[in-house]
Structure 1
Amino acid sequence: MHDAVPGPGWLTPLLWRAYARDSERTFRRAFDHYGPAFALWVPGIGRTALLCDPDLIGGVLSAGGLRPFKPRPTAVVWGPRSIFALHGPDHHRVRKLMLPVLGGAAVDRHREDAIAIAERMVDGLPTGTPFELLPHARDALLRAMLRAMFGLTDQRMDRWQAPVRDLLDIGGSQQASVRFVLRGLGATRVWPAFHAARLRCGRLIHDEIARRHRREEDGRDILGQLMRARTADGAALTDAALHDQAISVLVAGFIAPALGLAWAVERLVRHPSALDRLTGEAIAGTGQDYAAAVACEALRQRPPTSIVPLGVTGHTVTVGGYRLRPGTSLLVPLMALHHHPGHFSDPYVFRPERFLRTRPSPFSWLPFGIGPKICAGRTLAILQISTFLQVIARRLILSAAGPPEEGVHRALVSNYPSHGCRITAASRPTHQEGS
């Protein structure tokens, strides 16, 4: 039995530099040295334990007594009434209102819009010359989320795209990481560029909500469904809460699918058999099972969010031979977890088939988080990634335009392809689409 979780102590500048350059290798070395858990003192967070074993994670969750984790750097974007910022009964109430809107069959209504926006993206891609897919994916997925969230026409969307993109870019920047660490000194309160961007975006959302109230309309989009949603006692979300949920859906529904799509393509162009099978499914129009499996496997090998918070220990927790002291923040580095050899055979092999008609073992695959804070929009995210993948595969012949890409971190936890998913595309002959 360990008296405490072992570890290197403080997150030193040298260790931080190693993490920023290659988090996977840094964490792998640490876990190889210390075992399935190690401790750090992290600026802005405090005493922290990092866990990479699904059984250990399950044991910690079963022990109970976890308090909510402190906000992430992007929390400043969400707002205080966001589903991501709320805890306890308030979080449970909002989550119950949002799940029917973002889960299950409810997301199918967005498929045709996603197809149309993906087709438009493909039409604008260069052919015959190397290019970075990620910027195109970001623009297209932002349009897809604006369409799903607000039902915007193309004409109205042009007015929204720049303010929303500016807010999300500032909130997801490296500067957000520094300001998060220094938030106790007022670094997030005094941030003119961010607050101006949030005000511009907020005005658009509040004006849209007010317009719908005046015309006594709501619509079939996500905002409209949230405006109609009622709790068991008949209460509706306030306009301020609607604003914060709209921002939350845009943040989660734009960044993760865009990165997930880019990483999926980055993996596919290096695995021709998987790309061929995806292309066959897309051309045959036989569903999205394999496309969804590709999305899930890409999210396993290259998760857009590199670290998932479990919570903060409220009392001493003893599990798996470790004793976790009260007040310890628990984090899960997903690259280490998702490549655990005890739960994924050949974990460094890209194999979408592992997600066909099977589910990963508990706590071994967490790209959308875990527990009460698991992303409510995960079904929509998988649908969007799968739909875009099929349109790309049906329309284009893809090839890699460089070596395999490593992850580059922004805002502490966002995992970007190091070269933006650099590929070369050629138009697929029409007879091949119909063959």
Structure 2
Amino acid sequence: MPLPYLLKTPSLLQKLQWVTDPVGYMEKASQQYPDIFTGKIIGFGDTVVFVNHPQAIQEILTNDRKKFTAVGAINSITQPLIGDYSIVTLEGDRHKRQRQLLMPSFHGERIQAYGQLICNLTEQIFSKLPLDKPFLARNLTQEISLRVILQTVFGLYEGERFQQFKHLLPLLMDVFRSPLTSISFFFSSLQKDLGAWSPWGKFLRDRQTIDELLYAEIAERRQQPDSECIDILSLLISSRDEAGQLMTEQELHDQLMVLILTGYETTASAMAWGLYWIHQKPLVREKLLQELDTLGDSPDPMSISRLPYLGAVCNETLRIHPVVMFSFPRVVQEPVELLGHSLEPGTVLLPNIYLTHQREDLYPQPKEFQPERFLKHQFSPYEFLPFGGGVRRCLGETLAIFQMKLVLATALSRYEFALVDQRPERPQRRGLTLAPAGGVKMVITGRRVRQEPLVNMTTTPVY
């Protein structure tokens, strides 16, 4: 049975473009087929059906584990980083068990406890920057994201192991620094250990060192549990499933690697994109600062997180440049019809976040950064889905949004920034994510003094 709208470009060219320029690949295809098309890419099997229509995405995500199920093919890409027992690589009941064990770590009360920590870290890191000296915003947001992970996930604030993780984790993630260095995760033939000087050999050695640190940390926590600790690792170590079983050392290791992978690269890129758009659009910056100024000189983190325009700015950032391009792949389990196309069992579907967020019928002028659209309209989970959906929706969503709001608010409230390069930033592949290719080059021009609000923002909108 023919697949829907099979692209005519030769298979090899499609695969190369998918690795080097995924945005260009998707946008060109969607110009011809805006709702659904079939491409030949790598990473999820040879042939994949891209689904870009909210109605079809809703059908896929609400029929998880019935008509559709998660694809194991993605395991071949992520396994070298996150192992065999992570919530990403497991399926069925084993996936459900791990998700239930992880969920309490991301409940609202626990997330709130990290608020002041995030604000303090942001101020500490930005305060070290000299005035009028260019810096790459993404490097800075990476440092903030890494420090947040070390403190919230591991409970590490200082010491030798803190320094080791702080040094090694960026080295491990450096394998994603460009499309060319990421390519080894898509071609198993390139995964050759040719010594420490080779890209894959260096990755394996960095990973082994981090594995040793992780297992040592887990072992010490097991031997000396502390009920007062609020970090995620402490909670996971004490968590039991419905049968009363604790997580094994390997399960703990693999879940920690997922939290590092999903919380480091993605959150750092989202915050860098936010800084870019806020300073690319002076009116957006002005409105946001007016809103922040209504909270006074020392706002508490929860008050910051509830600001409506700040929330809209973060949502529009995640819409126009979603850090993750697609939701978790699904495979058809039984003959189904999707958007008028018959699909056979075994067909791989890729719910496309990027193309859904670029639909003109959902988001008029989709290339324009317009936070107000999120104040005027509430989008469904199948129209706006930066963290995926269904049973594979990212568990760290609440912490990621919370961190993004607090970092942007803290930085903007205390410093004056300017973009160094007025040329548009373009998205570039970093592994499975999209990051600003130029890193968002900025300068701090001075300290900012809060302005007394001219209007009562609680009663008079400025939008």
TM-score by length of 1: 0.91
Could you give the per-residue CA deviations for residues 258-289 of structure 1, whole angstroms, max 9, x where no partner exists?
00000111111111222122223333335322
8 Å contact kept, 1:264–1:295 = yes
Cα distance, 1:91 vs. partner?
0.8
SS of aligned partner of 2:240: coil
SS of aligned partner of 2:327: strand
Does 1:170 pair with 2:180? no
Structure 2 Cα separation of the partners of residues 33 and 148 of structure 1: 45
Structure 1 residue aligned with 2:112: 108
Question: CA distance change for structure 1 residues 357 and 188 in 2, over 3 Å: closer, same or farther?
Answer: farther
8 Å contact kept, 2:273–2:321 = yes
8 Å contact kept, 1:146–1:250 = no
Does 1:28 pair with 2:27? yes
Cα distance, 1:104 vs. partner?
2.4
8 Å contact kept, 1:9–1:39 = no
> Which one of 139, 160, 165 corresponds to residue 135 of structure 1?
139
Structure 2 residue aligned with 1:310: 329
Cα distance, 1:6 vs. partner?
1.1
Cα distance, 1:39 vs. partner?
0.8
Could you give the per-residue CA deviations for residues 328-377 of structure 1, whole angstroms, max 9, x where no partner exists?
22113322110212222443332223334863123111211111111100
Cα distance, 1:229 vs. partner?
1.3
Structure 1 residue aligned with 2:274: 264
Structure 2 residue aligned with 1:65: 67
SS of aligned partner of 1:391: helix
Structure 1 Cα separation of the partners of residues 246 and 19 of structure 2: 43
SS of aligned partner of 1:399: strand
Which deviates more from structure 2 when the two are superposed, residues 234-243 or residues 357-366? Answer: 357-366
8 Å contact kept, 2:15–2:41 = no
Structure 2 residue aligned with 1:78: 82
> Which one of 72, 89, 96 corresponds to residue 92 of structure 1?
96
8 Å contact kept, 1:310–1:370 = no
Structure 1 residue aligned with 2:419: 400
> Which one of 200, 216, 239 corresponds to residue 207 of structure 1?
216
Structure 2 residue aligned with 1:180: 185
For structure 2, the residue ranges without an aligned partner over 5 or more in a row are: 195-199, 296-302, 455-463
Structure 1 Cα separation of the partners of residues 369 and 10 of structure 2: 32
Structure 2 residue aligned with 1:336: 355
SS of aligned partner of 1:415: strand
Structure 2 Cα separation of the partners of residues 326 and 410 of structure 1: 31
SS of aligned partner of 1:71: helix
8 Å contact kept, 1:77–1:171 = no
| Identity level (%) | 26
Which deviates more from structure 2 when the two are superposed, residues 174-183 or residues 36-45? Answer: 174-183
Question: CA distance change for structure 1 residues 433 and 145 in 2, over 3 Å: closer, same or farther?
Answer: farther
Structure 1 Cα separation of the partners of residues 40 and 393 of structure 2: 26
> Which one of 376, 382, 385 corresponds to residue 366 of structure 1?
385
Structure 2 Cα separation of the partners of residues 144 and 74 of structure 1: 23
Does 1:294 pair with 2:313? yes
SS of aligned partner of 1:150: coil
Structure 2 residue aligned with 1:284: 294
Structure 2 Cα separation of the partners of residues 29 and 400 of structure 1: 30
Structure 1 residue aligned with 2:409: 390
Does 1:4 pair with 2:6? no
User: Which amino acid in 2 is paired with 1:287?
Assistant: I
8 Å contact kept, 2:137–2:439 = yes
SS of aligned partner of 1:264: helix
Question: CA distance change for structure 1 residues 383 and 404 in 2, over 3 Å: closer, same or farther?
Answer: same
8 Å contact kept, 2:15–2:42 = no
Structure 1 Cα separation of the partners of residues 2 and 82 of structure 2: 39
Question: CA distance change for structure 1 residues 312 and 253 in 2, over 3 Å: closer, same or farther?
Answer: same
Question: CA distance change for structure 1 residues 175 and 24 in 2, over 3 Å: closer, same or farther?
Answer: closer
Could you give the per-residue CA deviations for residues 64-110 of structure 1, whole angstroms, max 9, x where no partner exists?
42232222634421111111111111111110111111232321111
1:28-67 pair list within 5 angstroms: 28-44=27-43, 45-62=45-62, 64-67=66-69
Question: CA distance change for structure 1 residues 429 and 37 in 2, over 3 Å: closer, same or farther?
Answer: closer
- Count residues in correspondence: 432
SS of aligned partner of 1:142: helix
User: Which amino acid in 2 is paired with 1:68?
Assistant: A
User: Which amino acid in 1 is paired with 2:374?
Assistant: F
SS of aligned partner of 1:154: coil
User: Which amino acid in 2 is paired with 1:67?
Assistant: T
Cα distance, 1:150 vs. partner?
1.1
> Which one of 252, 260, 264 corresponds to residue 262 of structure 2?
252
Structure 2 Cα separation of the partners of residues 216 and 307 of structure 1: 39
Question: CA distance change for structure 1 residues 9 and 317 in 2, over 3 Å: closer, same or farther?
Answer: farther
8 Å contact kept, 1:77–1:168 = no
User: What CA RMSD, in Å, does the superposition of the two structures yield over aligned residues?
Assistant: 2.6
Structure 1 Cα separation of the partners of residues 2 and 179 of structure 2: 36
8 Å contact kept, 2:37–2:51 = yes
User: Which amino acid in 2 is paired with 1:300?
Assistant: R
User: Which amino acid in 1 is paired with 2:96?
Assistant: H
8 Å contact kept, 1:97–1:226 = yes
SS of aligned partner of 1:367: coil
Structure 2 Cα separation of the partners of residues 34 and 123 of structure 1: 48
User: Which amino acid in 1 is paired with 2:428?
Assistant: V
User: Which amino acid in 2 is paired with 1:274?
Assistant: V
> Which one of 122, 131, 136 corresponds to residue 118 of structure 1?
122
